[in-house]
Structure 1
Amino acid sequence: MKLATYKDGSRDGQLVVVSRDLSSAHYATGIAGKLQQALDDWGFIAPQLQDLYEALNQGKSRHAFPFDPQRCMAPLPRAYQWADGSAYINHVELVRAARKAEVPETFYSDPLMYQGGSDDFLGPCDDVVVPNEAFGIDFEAEVAVITGDVKMGSTPEQALEGVRLLMLANDVSLRNLIPSELAKGFGFFQSKPATAFSPVAVTPDEVGDAWQGGRLHMTVQSTWNGRRVGMCEAGPEMTFSFGQLIAHICKTRNVRAGSIVGSGTVSNKGVEKDGRMDWPKGYSCIAEKRAIETIQDGKPSTEFMKFGDTIRIEVKGRDGQTVFGAIEQTIAAPV
């Protein structure tokens, strides 16, 4: 099934069930008013939402209305936890190679993760408001999951059973603030503003065999200022699965229902062409493009985002239809 949260003037919005083709929706009032409520009692509430979803798809829902992504908040507008990984080791290799730094061996066996702000997410069509262009504004196209409860000490296989919903993320980064923050040895903070998520979150069964081994085997499309810059495959080159990422979190603590876990920037390896490396699938963040330019040409030539720039992040199924809806945002200065 597919779920979204409509703006209603409150912090947590109103849960709606969305049709498979994203053409219509129905308020989940009477079943669960908020997505967190459904996650807290998933075994009881999910089957009722599924019944409504099936009725909606069959055209039997009397109070359906046209679905409008512009009215959406993030599917989970605020969460108990937002933990973002860096599961695509190719991304790490490129960024470190650009500054002539080796990748530690442990990075291939132990995932990188950071704890982001989870109190103020952006809706899929909300502006990305940044105080200053000089901060180095970058988009990051990612896959994310929302979990149920996962016990401390769970194996990756057990952790994977805790995945309730899949969605897309734009994990905005302020690249020029990152070096000084990381130099403190305490991780990201000001360099990671509010993250945006796709209009709808979907249960894994909705993508069929594209969900394998805790990886989404679909193409993440990134379009910057109307030009498609990334067609990256999310599945094959994901070094750490979502089961492994969640197990990493719960090594020493429980993971509670309503936690969001991100994959990190979706990234694919380049191929050698005429003596040079080429990246035919493009990129899912500008920092990676700049890293490629630095490796090849000695310096980056692509600038970071400016006020007025737009970014669109989307995944389409084999039928050409959008799966999660699109993240469509504009970079804006504070009003």
Structure 2
Amino acid sequence: MKLASFRDGSRDGQLIVVSRDLRTAHFATDAAPTLQRALDDWNFIAPQLQDLYDALNAGRAARPFEFSPAQCAAPLPRAYQWADGSAYVNHVELVRKARRAEMPETFWTDPLMYQGGSDDFLGPTDDIVCGSEAFGIDFEAEVAVVTGDVPMGATPAEAADGIRLLMLANDVSLRNLIPNELAKGFGFFQSKPATAFSPVAITPDELGPAWRDGMVHLPLVITWNGQVVGRPHAGTDMVFNFPRLISHLCKTRNCRAGSIVGSGTVSNKDAGAGYACIAEKRCLETIATGSASTGFMKFGDTIHIEMLDESGASLFGAIDQAVAIPTSV
């Protein structure tokens, strides 16, 4: 099924069920007021949502309305946790190679992960508001999962049972702020502003055979200023699948329902797949010529991130954003 959060003026929005073709929706108030409430009691509430989803797709829903991504917040407008991995080690390897730095062998066996801000996510059509172009504004197209409760010490097999939903993400980075932050030895903070998510979150069964081995085996389509710059395949070169990432997160702590775990920038070894972030393109240029020629995003730039199924239909709806100057302090 497909779920979204309708903007109603509250912090967490109102849970709606969205049709498979993303054309119509129906309020899910009778089952749960918000997506977090549904996740908190998933085994009881999910069957009710599924019944409504089936009725909506069959044209039997009582009060359907036209679905609009512009009316949506992120599926979880705020979450208990946002943990972003770096499952595509090719991306890490390119970054380090461009800096002429050796990559530790452990990067291939032990996932990288950081904990980002989860109190203020962006909706799929919200602007990327940034104080200065000099910060080095970059998009990062990713896949993410939403979990149920996963206990501390869970194995990857156990963690797989905790995957409830999947989404797309634009994990915006301010590249020119990253070096000084990392030099302090305490990780990202100012260099990682609010992340945006796709209009809808979907259950794994919506992917059919494209969901296997804890990965999504479909390409992402990234369009920057109207030009397609990447079609990297999310199931190719993913060294750590989602169960492995969740298990890594749970090594020393419980993972609670409503946690979001990201894949990191989708990256393929085949350069012909294009790129899912500008930094990777710049790394390839630096490796080839000694310097980067592609600039970061400017005010007014647009970014469109979408995933299509084998028939060409949009699965999650699109992240469709523009870069904007702050209007107030």
Counterpart of 1:275 in structure 2 is: none
Gaps of 5+ in 2: none
The residue number in structure 1 matching 2:130 is 130
**Could you tell me how far apart the structure 2 residues matched to 1:226 and 1:62 are?**
39
Aligned to 2:191: 191
Provide the rounded CA distance (Å) in 2 between the counterparts of 1:299 and 1:32.
53
Is residue 2:7 matched to residue 1:7? yes
Are 1:321 and 2:321 matched, yes or no? no
Cα RMSD over matched residues? 0.4
Instruction: Please tell me whether residue 312 in structure 1 is matched to residue 304 in structure 2.
Output: yes
**SS in structure 1 at match of 2:283:** helix
Length, aligned pairs only: 327
1:285 shift after superposition: 0.1
* Deviation (angstroms), 1:236: 2.2
**Distance in 2, Cα, partners of 1:179 & 1:124:** 28
Deviation per residue, 1:27-76 (Å, 9 max, x gap):
00111010000000000000000000000000001200010000000000
What is the TM-score when the length of structure 1 is the normalising length? 0.97
1:117-164: CA deviations, max 9, x gaps?
A: 000000000000001110000000000000000000000110011000
Shift of 1:301: 0.1
- In the alignment, structure 1 residue 163 sits paired with structure 2 residue 163: yes
Give the match for residue 154 of structure 2. 154
2:263 aligns to what? 263
What's the secondary structure of 2:93's corresponding residue? helix
Distance 1:212 1:183 in 2: 38
Matches within 5 A, 1:96-107: 96-107=96-107
Q: State how far apart, in whole Å, the 2-side matches of 1:236 and 1:197 are.
A: 22
**Alignment match, 1:297:** 289
Q: Which residue, 316, 324, 328 being the options, matches 1:332?
A: 324
Quick one: distance in 1 between partners of 2:63 and 2:311? 28
TM-score in terms of structure 2 length: 0.99
| In 1, Cα distance between equivalents of 2:102 and 2:53 | 49
3-state DSSP class of the match of 2:288? helix
Amino acid of the structure 2 residue aligned with 1:122: L
**How high is the sequence identity, in percent, across the aligned residues?**
70
SS of 1:288 mapped into structure 2: helix
Rounded to whole Å, the distance in 1 between the matches of 2:225 and 2:243 is 34
Deviations 1:160-203 (A, max 9, x none): 11000001000000000000000001100000000000000000
Gaps of 5+ in 1: 271-278
The residue that corresponds to 1:60 in the other structure is 60
The AA in structure 1 aligned to 2:224 is W
- Counterpart Cα distance in 1 of 2:303 and 2:23: 23
Question: Distance in 2 between the 1:62 and 1:37 partners?
Answer: 23
Q: Residue 116 of structure 1 aligns with which residue? A: 116
- What amino acid is the match of 1:160? A
What one-letter code is carried by the residue in structure 1 that aligns with 2:108?
Y
Partner in structure 2 of residue 34 of structure 1: 34
Distance 1:93 1:107 in 2: 9
**CA drift at 1:312:** 0.2
Q: Distance in 1 between matches of 2:318 and 2:236?
A: 22
Alpha-carbon distance in 2 for matches of 1:256, 1:233: 29
1:44 aligns with 2:44: yes
Q: Distance in 1 between matches of 2:256 and 2:62?
A: 35
